[in-house]
Amino acid sequence: MHITTPEDIEANIDNIKSIGLKKVASLPMAIFSCSKLTTLSLRGCNVKRLPVELLHLESLEKLIIIDCGLEELPAWLANLKSLRSLTVSHNKLEELPPDLAFGANELGLNVDFNALTRIPVDYFLPQSRIVALNLNNNQLKALPELKKDCHSLRNLSFRNNRIAFIPSQWFKNLPSLTLVDIRDNPYTRLPLAIFSLVSLKYLSAGGTGLDENFLNTNAHFEIFKAFNAIDLGIEARELVYQLLYAPSTITRASVQDLLDCLCLPYPPVWKVALAFLLEKKKALLKKNPLNKNSEIAVFGKTIMPNRMLRAKIKDKGARYNIKIKDSTTHVVIAPKLKKYEGYDKKDLVFISEEDLLSFLGVEQERFLKKVDPGESELQHLKDLLYHPEEENRAIALNIMLGGGVPKPLMTDLFLIWRNTSIEASFRKKILKLLKLNASTELKSRLSQAKPIMRESLDEYTLDENLRHYTEGTELDAWKIGRYVFKHYKNGLRFWLRHLSKEEERTLLNFLIEKRPQFKLCNSYFQQLEDLFEYTNAKWVVIENANLKCFPKQLLAFKKMWNLSLGHNKLVELPKAFVGLEKLRTLNIKYNNFKVFPPVLLDMISLKVIVVAYSTFTWNKTPVDLERFYYDGITAKRK
């Protein structure tokens, strides 16, 4: 039972589990006799001191005191046996009792918007029971010195205080933290020890003058997810931060640390880490270039299938190994790596995938040995690509892996990749090929996959998703729009966007004349006025268009037999509506009609009227039952 007024407490004293009082002058003593009370909330009450009688509430789990003028938290609160959550917000506390840190139960403590100037070090001791600590909007100037690890604390927030310095290893003593919010403090350097927090999932540290890119929550979340996937030491984590946001500050980085960074499942790190690694070995590569005497090991996944790679290396007279051996001279680094388990001989040369492909002569064959392949070659590739047999499709992929993808086929590859009816393994290979040959802009769009081949998608969502892939990229929007509409019967709004006015008229008139069930929808057009041009339409849908008046242009649609005007703001239909003599079905649900439109009563040809959720349907008898059968949703003429 939950009680909100003092008068009701005494009468229900044995059944009350929750009390929430606002702006009472003094606490009713009856509260302290509620043996089953688990939650007590006081907001805007006059409570400068907490009465010791609170100790009688042995079942109390949650205590909330907000804006009550409280000046002191008594140490005896630690003796509340069941207390698990304590909120003392918007009060006048200047200090906290150390005893709160100790007790049988875990405790979440929120003391934001007070006047605190220090935190008891007890809250961070190994035996502390505090799991969440909110110190936002106080006057803290310093953090307590930590000497031992505190494993209990998981959430820590001290936003908007006056902390100018965070000790470099401070966070290292709080290994269980999952959430940290330290925004709006005057410190200028984020302690890199924060990267030792393997459990951290959310960090917010803005408003401090630090690198705002680094402080972006989404990017940060991805980095920490990557850290959780790979066991990196603190030195390697600090290096990741520098690689991403301050590469010019790197003065020393071991080969092993750079290799560890290349194992991280976070692509933005790879490029920079690989550049640093190759720079370290640049002099060695000049001294020991790739040649027929080289023995090459490959770490990571190259764009070429292993079988083809091995054959090409053999053709050059060199040797190929799966693992590093004593005789290995060169190691190809192709992110992402699995954990690097080789060893770093002083004379071992690390090279990039580009170096290897250049040595093998693959780059010269990039465009199928021709800058502009002819129509017959393109058609041959297309036939192989769409062939039902896997072997033929594999041939097409290998041709393009070795020689590049002709621009006209980029759109075909995209459509194959997005078609979920095709086996996932083949689509995965297609995506790899796409990314290898795509522009920077298209690569970025491909990494944010959006559905386009679903009949359930509405026109607006589908239009947005298709534009996501095609605007500013090399993909053929016209071809994609046509494919989606042809196979999934939606996406017409997008396709029309890429047709000329003449092509649009031809297509829509064809659909209207040849497909009786074709719906001419306002969602297909950028402007509603464009719809009114097609007066030969038989089925018209104008929904969610914010119509307040009936569009008089519709009166010219003399062949129309089905009209849907649902989800608008219509209040009446004009008398001239009766001129739509062929109309059989009308949908006016979710409008603002105050009465059943009288003009519809004598339209004998109009058989079905969907009226659900229009204003008048809440009346007791909204429809003339002598003329219509009515089920609360639809009126059907008798």
Task: For residue range 386-432, list pLDDT tens digits in order.
Answer: 888 877 788 788 778 766 788 888 999 999 999 888 888 888 989 98
Residue 280, pLDDT score:
80
Q: Where are the domains of the chain?
A: 2-244, 281-362, 375-491, 503-637
Residue 232, pLDDT score:
65
Greater confidence (378 vs 227) lies with 378
Residue 478, pLDDT score:
92
Residue 358, pLDDT score:
81
Count Cβ atoms below 10 Å from residue 608 Cβ, excluding itself.
14
- Looking at the DSSP bridge assignments, the partners of residue 181 are 157, 204
Residue 172, pLDDT score:
85
Residue 345, pLDDT score:
67
Range 512-517 average pLDDT? 90
Does pLDDT of 185 surpass 90? no
Task: Output the CA torsion 288→291→292→298 (10° steps).
Answer: 80
Q: Does domain 2-244 have CATH number 3.40.50.300?
A: no
Confidence of residue 209 (pLDDT cuts 50, 70, 90): very low
Does pLDDT of 27 surpass 50? yes
Q: Which pairs count as long-range contacts for 88-91, CB under 8 Å and 24+ apart, including other chains?
A: 88/114, 89/65, 89/113, 89/114, 90/66, 90/114, 91/65, 91/66, 91/67
Highest mean pLDDT among 169-183, 241-255, 266-280, 499-513: 499-513
Greater confidence (341 vs 135) lies with 135
Q: pLDDT above 70 covers what percent of the chain?
A: 88
Range 580-588 average pLDDT? 95
- Which tokens sit at 281? 């070995």
Pick one of 3.30.1330.10, 3.80.10.10, 1.10.150.20, 1.20.120.160 as the CATH number of 503-637.
3.80.10.10
Confidence of residue 310 (pLDDT cuts 50, 70, 90): confident
Confidence of residue 216 (pLDDT cuts 50, 70, 90): very low
Does pLDDT of 41 surpass 90? yes
Residue 206, pLDDT score:
60
Q: pLDDT above 90 covers what percent of the chain?
A: 42
Greater confidence (205 vs 465) lies with 465
Does pLDDT of 578 surpass 90? yes
Confidence of residue 193 (pLDDT cuts 50, 70, 90): low
Pick one of 1.10.3720.10, 3.40.50.10190, 3.40.50.1000, 3.40.50.720 as the CATH number of 281-362.
3.40.50.10190
- Which tokens sit at 207? 């408003």
Range 301-320 average pLDDT? 81
- Concatenate the DSSP letters of all residues of 181-232 into one string: E--S-S-----GGGGG-TT--EEE--SSSS-TTTT-HHHHHHHHHHHHHS--
Mean pLDDT (the chain, rounded): 85
281-362 and 503-637 in the same fold: no
- Concatenate the DSSP letters of all residues of 256-276 into one string: HHHHHHHTSS-HHHHHHHHHH
Residue 265, pLDDT score:
72
Residue 213, pLDDT score:
42
Distance CA 263, CA 333 (A): 11
Distance CA 608, CA 627 (A): 12
Residue 327, pLDDT score:
87
Greater confidence (347 vs 561) lies with 561
Distance CA 474, CA 321 (A): 38
Nearest to 578 by CA among 609, 610, 600, 549: 600
Does pLDDT of 361 surpass 70? yes
pTM more than 0.95? no
Residue 273, pLDDT score:
86
Task: Output the CA torsion 614→619→625→629 (10° steps).
Answer: 40
Does pLDDT of 575 surpass 90? yes
Residue 307, pLDDT score:
74
DSSP 213: T
Q: What does the pLDDT look like over 311-354, one tens digit per residue? A: 888 888 999 987 888 888 888 887 767 666 655 667 788 888 88
Least confident of 140-144, 262-266, 366-370, 578-582: 366-370
Does pLDDT of 144 surpass 70? yes
CA angle 327, 328, 332 (to 5 degrees): 175
SS (H, E, C) 371-418: CCCCHHHHHHHHHHHCCCCHHHHHHHHHHHHHHCCCHHHHHHHHHHHH
Range 458-480 average pLDDT? 91
DSSP 143: P
Least confident of 48-52, 296-300, 335-339, 376-380: 335-339
Let me know how long the chain is. Answer: 638
Residue 448, pLDDT score:
86
Residue 322, pLDDT score:
78
Distance CA 479, CA 498 (A): 9
Cβ atoms of residues 119 and 95 within 8 Å: no
Does pLDDT of 194 surpass 80? no
572 half-sphere exposure, CB direction, 13 A CA radius: 5
Range 99-104 average pLDDT? 92
Confidence of residue 210 (pLDDT cuts 50, 70, 90): very low
CB burial of residue 246 (10 Å; 0-12, 13-18, 19+): exposed
Nearest to 87 by CA among 101, 108, 56: 108
Range 178-201 average pLDDT? 75
Count Cβ atoms below 10 Å from residue 307 Cβ, excluding itself.
9
Cα distances (angstroms) measured from residue 395 to each of 401, 423, 438, 446, 524: 10, 17, 20, 24, 40
- Which tokens sit at 129? 């029971």
Residue 544 DSSP SS3: coil
Confidence of residue 73 (pLDDT cuts 50, 70, 90): very high
